[in-house]
Chain A
């Protein structure tokens, strides 16, 4: 019997059966078929426990949502305390929480971003960003990257991979042209007609396995945007919040974007919230019709409290220093593992604690993911490039946990390298 107060299940098997029956049959089956029978139960810091009690180190973090760890005690305390006074709030009116958070976000952001609009999640925030760009530029086209991923809402999904857009007949290639990543000629080609409202870029495309922008690429894209009068939207959902060793990854490139989007980790993993930071130009609609985008839960005041505490923690000088130590240690540890399996573990893409590990097999990351899971580490393959494992240590990881993670990772990579199924397929 698994009793969770509000509900209970007799067994994990019963739970999985109901999950398939009432909730999502394909997703439930997908993980069973993948050899990952995970039902997340207890969670604390960077640790998860499956329903059957197995402990896992979480380096998936649900895309950075748990950047500060699961149930970060400081965020939990702040939100609990806030619940004595606040609730979701009323989006029609000037709001205490939304205003306070907006001020902190603007202060934290690259120069030129002066306004904040709120969403209940990253997809909605991307929609706001795209709508803002279209309004400001009075143009429709949005250029994104092939294999981009910016969420699943109406406009966001159209910027992404076909897989999700076509499923719901939401692909609109004429309005949402895509160009290959790291290809400046293609980018210039797409912008040359001056009919593009904005280019949207993840600073490092997560779901594509964190391929790194070639040095100078993003800077050149920004310059092209200026040349052809398009806005630059920095999707910092996965690269923001100190994950690259600076609060916003885009500042490492010296870029001042016209729009910056944050989500996931901004919530502290406790209360959903996402935010769009807008320049005066991009946020012009906020002067014209403040009711232009309405979102009941967007910027819910409890979420604002969670985000304020998250930003306070994240911006501590001590935390910035810790992230640099973690990145250094993880990078060095992985390079050592790579030196042992150079033909199998063929690449490390790293910027801070944003990492993609490349393996010499089209689905290599799935094998490593399974071995890691067996060895008590949860990391996920890249949906749009399953050669690459997303490997995302949290920014508050302790030295001992980092060491343990590296030990387990080395073993898992070694075991995957020796997987007979894999060598058969590789040979064929």
Chain B
């Protein structure tokens, strides 16, 4: 209808133009071939990998969170690591299912609005940008304000690398000055095709309320059960290392240790040997008072190291202490140590047997972290199975530190910086975020009647290679370097020349049809150029 209302454009001024430019870039990129995409993704991942240290340092400096060497590892995992993981998979070439008589043609989301957190800033920028590029999407990074400088700079670096490798102009952009109203406007704008929300509950709920498709994930609060069948020493070492990883700012870092009584004392000894300080009741109380004044997490502890936190809380521990373990007795919400801590502080509770341990893990998840992750150290598959079935989480990592286990760095789960918490965790995504979540497939479906055959599709692709800048610089059309139409008049001249050479073939009556066919090919070629 001619009078249709304007679409909902909510992002103001320049921010709206960021989305508009992204929309043009996404349209152009959606016609790129698999080899184009491979070239671009590799170039971007390489430059990200080469700058892993720089941005690890910058992120720690800017946010005050985490550990440089661990962020380096995440930055590497989220650049070349991601490319290696998905090597050989392509989200570009149509897939032919001959037996089903179905052909699947990929259709990228379009403009991905990538919200990135303060705790895990540049790794998430790398991760989401590379996922978007693998799936031929444009991406607009909206960093957490606490990490805006390192994230914006990193996004600009990736943007340049992408365009230098032949990606369309504007394929990667970022918001230099993010504010809550601006981010809300970007999320609600019709020019955003999907929101990837990683961050606090507030931003995730806002993403889901925006009216646009969103993939938001809930918070973690990871319980870890060590049962009597576990290799206790190995469990202790993995636990301490995992809990210390990046000063525990990942949502996959363990939060509460549930130890079966039979091995609890041994576990404590082994953890102390591995670098943990297991606190007595008085020190545990000091820690509670400092970390949870008024019952809420003191954000000053987020991403800080264990000895700094101990000092602030007035607790004496060795200078090389990696993790503080604070015992508590009851898994109820009013116990602060049952909540997410985002710091190398592990709550610890003893249980008489594995069944009680599973019930305790359920209690922890009831408080927070539904749909997220849990860990278990056990050699009994029956216990592991019951644990997975009864604790409402979507990944259970076994005999591995959970920070790198659930995020797929040390398991064969999809490596990710965004952990889907599923329906139980109020998310549309139940898996680790991976490229496939950013692309739809148009399915060509033939009549299933065997009498109706599906012709061959193998090797057919509607996309084409790109070797020049997109878009072309607007040269005047009388400049020799400007793109030009191959008018059919020229085609005729060409055919005449070819005809002269192959006169013995006897064109005759077939000539007009041949000309028509060539004309049609030229028009098809031109339409490729247009869609490009």
Contacts and interface: CB of A to CB of B under 8 A. Distances in A.
B474 to A, nearest CB: 4
Contacts of B477: 212, 331, 348-351
A336 B530 contact: yes
Contact of B27 (A323, A327, A399): A399
B484 interface: yes
Interface residues of B, number: 44
Interface string A323-350: 1110111011101101110100000111
Contact of B20 (A54, A318, A351): A318
Interface string A84-110: 000000000000000000000000000
Nearest to B18: A318
A339 B2 contact: no
Contacts of A327: 471, 474
Contacts of A399: 23-24, 27
Contacts of A419: none
A332 B471 CA distance: 11
B119 to A, nearest CB: 30
A183 to B, nearest CB: 15
Q: How large is the interface on A (under 10, 10 to 19, 20 to 34, 35 or more residues)?
A: 35 or more
A319 interface: yes
A70 interface: no
A74 B11 CA distance: 12
A319 B14 CA distance: 9
Given A44-B6, A318-B18, A342 B488 contact: yes
Nearest to A332: B530
Contact of B17 (A215, A319, A328, A332): A319
Given A349-B477, A396-B20, A324 B169 contact: yes
B185 to A, nearest CB: 13
B358 interface: no
A349 B13 CA distance: 32
A339 to B, nearest CB: 5
Contacts, number: 118
B442 interface: no
Given A322-B17, A322-B24, A339 B474 contact: no
Interface in A20-53: 44-45, 49, 53
Interface in B444-492: 470-480, 482-489
Contacts of A424: none
**Chain B's interface: helix, strand, loop or mixed, by majority?**
loop
Contacts of B479: 215
Contacts of A74: 12-13
A313 B471 CA distance: 20
A321 interface: yes
B21 interface: yes
Interface string B1-20: 01100100000111001101
A319 B488 CA distance: 35
Contacts of A150: none
Nearest to A402: B24
Given A325-B28, A335-B483, A318 B474 contact: no
B483 A318 contact: no
B526 A335 contact: yes
A303 interface: no
A252 B482 CA distance: 14
Contacts of B170: 318, 321
A214 B476 CA distance: 10
Given A316-B17, A321-B21, A398-B20, A212 B476 contact: yes
Contact of B14 (A318, A335, A349, A350): A318
Nearest to A331: B483
A374 B249 CA distance: 63
Contacts of A350: 474, 476-477, 482
B98 interface: no
A340 B474 contact: no
Nearest to A55: B2
B165 to A, nearest CB: 17
Contacts of A44: 6
Contacts of A122: none
B389 interface: no
A310 interface: no
B474 A352 contact: yes
A332 B474 contact: no
B527 interface: yes
A369 B275 CA distance: 81
A323 B474 contact: yes
B281 interface: no
Interface string A212-245: 1111000000000000000000000000000011
Interface in B490-530: 522-523, 526-527, 529-530
Given A74-B13, A322-B21, A324-B471, A342 B489 contact: yes
Interface in A251-278: 252
A428 B124 CA distance: 70
25 contacts: A44-B6, A55-B3, A212-B476, A212-B478, A215-B476, A318-B18, A318-B21, A318-B170, A319-B17, A321-B21, A324-B474, A332-B483, A332-B530, A332-B532, A335-B483, A335-B526, A336-B530, A338-B485, A339-B487, A339-B523, A339-B526, A349-B477, A350-B476, A350-B482, A376-B2
Given A49-B2, A396-B20, A398-B23, 8 more contacts: A53-B3, A318-B14, A318-B17, A324-B472, A328-B471, A336-B529, A342-B488, A399-B23
Task: Give the 7 A-B residue pairs with the shortest CB-CB distance, closest first.
Answer: A335-B485, A245-B474, A328-B471, A55-B2, A318-B17, A325-B24, A332-B530
Interface of A: 44-45, 49, 53-55, 74, 212-215, 244-245, 252, 313, 316, 318-319, 321-325, 327-329, 331-333, 335-336, 338-340, 342, 348-352, 376, 396, 398-399
